[in-house]
A = this chain, B = another copy of it.
């Protein structure tokens, strides 16, 4: 089965987290493992009935709730040679919180379904719980875990479902942008993509057998030491979740989080809204320069990372003309639908798709 994902035989994907090997799930058992996990999970202010019953009960003060779910699977979505267990918890929280924030909602609660091989050290699960806690504390204080499920599986996977409160406002969808709106972003652009590029370039070692390059924990640690911001942006991103509500209050007409790259997600917003989007070359160059100044290793690739690098989960929004809410930077303009292209950079149609499709497969050695 592993070969479907190009997982090399010399990587033990279940226990490669670089934690001290300790008692495993099989040794500790489900009940005791849950007992150790629960006290580490963050409490949700909106929790009316917490874990331990058939279901939890969560407050939804305005009579509605926002819900999103996102699944991370070892192999296609993360590598244990690169990510710590804590990284995984942070990223699993953050990607879901970003989807809630992108509706203009305040995140209230998470439920977490986790499946792991029986030989996974319990410490890996505790590390994930700590990451969920720290991710919530950093980006969405008051949001916590109200329930979950734990199961056995051949590969580690985490399915997080996140909830949010619209506080009486209409949800900000992808489809409300109008010509003459400004396109703006809050959060990083290009860092996570540059981090992934570095990990693929320098965080791999030659497999003795076939000579194929495979993820290597030691080399990845060296990459992280040399390029901490870029690697952290990829493995444990921190997104300005708290800017989702001010964006909605500030009149955002459309919003989504940049999970698959600026151009691809700008195109989604444009298509859903029946418009086109014109990115301002000067604004893109400013973003690229900031990325180069953060870490010169990106060099000439900076603009490509800004335009096509995925997984930053920045909030991309359209606003009517006028001052932008604090934390948002102007990137361009919404235009009438152009037959030439959904996305233009200046006057040039941007043809490359960019972005990340899990069904495009996975090549552990590809750069």
Contacts and interface: CB of A to CB of B under 8 A. Distances in A.
Interface residues of A, number: 84
Interface string A337-348: 000000000000
Contact of A147 (B67, B118, B155, B359): B67
A49 B173 contact: yes
A53 interface: yes
Contact of A73 (B56, B151, B164): B151
A365 to B, nearest CB: 18
Nearest to A153: B73
Interface stretch (A1-9, A82-90, A206-214, A233-241): A1-9
A64 B75 contact: no
Given A1-B14, A5-B152, A53-B173, A113 B29 contact: no
A345 to B, nearest CB: 24
A328 interface: no
A352 interface: no
A117 B174 contact: no
A285 interface: no
A103 interface: yes
A154 B157 CA distance: 10
A115 B157 contact: yes
Contacts of A102: 54-55
Number of copies of chain A assembled together: 2
A7 B30 CA distance: 21
Given A30-B359, A153-B155, A357-B29, A58 B69 contact: no
A186 interface: no
Given A1-B14, A359-B30, A69 B119 contact: no
A356 to B, nearest CB: 10
A362 interface: yes
Nearest to A14: B1
Nearest to A48: B64
A48 B64 CA distance: 8
B69 A60 contact: no
A57 B148 contact: no
A361 B111 contact: no
A99 B54 contact: yes
A131 interface: no
Given A58-B67, A59-B63, 15 more contacts: A4-B117, A5-B154, A30-B358, A54-B255, A54-B256, A55-B103, A71-B114, A71-B115, A71-B149, A71-B151, A75-B152, A76-B152, A77-B151, A150-B358, A151-B358
